[in-house]
Amino acid sequence: MKLNCDMTMDLVALYQDGLASESTNEAVESHLETCARCREYYKSYRIAKPFQEEFLTVQEREFAEVAKRLRARKLWKRIFTCSYILASIAAMMVLWLRLQDEDEFDVYHVK
Ligand SMILES: [Zn+2]
């Protein structure tokens, strides 16, 4: 399959994202080997692609914001859970140490 420059530039996005078929990949690659202009376009496309804020749509930005908040909330939940468990263990240890000293904790036996 022989591609012209317009077709190649249209297909570069699919090629880059790995969504093009094997024959399309080969056609794009063979055109990129011979055409400097399309190679430049492909390079600039590759640089622009990785998640840069200005390339995100409004919905994607909102989703990223929500995901960030959820991650933060999850982190705080974990911190709270760990603190709660540690505080419980500490309280049990204090109670256990006090129970070791029977005289101090002998509340059930009237003297
Ligand atoms: Zn070209």
Tell how far the Cα of 46 is from the centroid of ligand 1, in angstroms. 16
User: How far, in Å, CA of 19 to CA of 111, rounded?
Assistant: 84
> Which residue range is the domain that position 27 belongs to?
1-48
Which pLDDT does position 18 carry in this prediction? 85
Does residue 44 share a domain with residue 27? yes
Does residue 82 share a domain with residue 42? no
pLDDT cut 70: percent of the chain above it: 83
Tell how far the Cα of 90 is from the centroid of ligand 1, in angstroms. 70
Does residue 65 share a domain with residue 23? no
Does residue 61 share a domain with residue 111? yes
Asked if residue 16 has pLDDT above 80, the reply is yes
Which pLDDT does position 36 carry in this prediction? 94
Sign of CA dihedral 10, 15, 16, 19: positive
Q: Which amino acid is at 29?
A: E
* Close Cβ partners of 26 (under 8 Å, ≥ 6 residues apart): 1
Does residue 71 share a domain with residue 42? no
Does residue 37 share a domain with residue 70? no
Does residue 63 share a domain with residue 29? no
Tell how far the Cα of 37 is from the centroid of ligand 1, in angstroms. 6
Predicted TM-score (pTM) of the model is 0.44
| Number of domains within the chain | 2
Of the two residues 4 and 57, the one the predictor is more confident about is 4
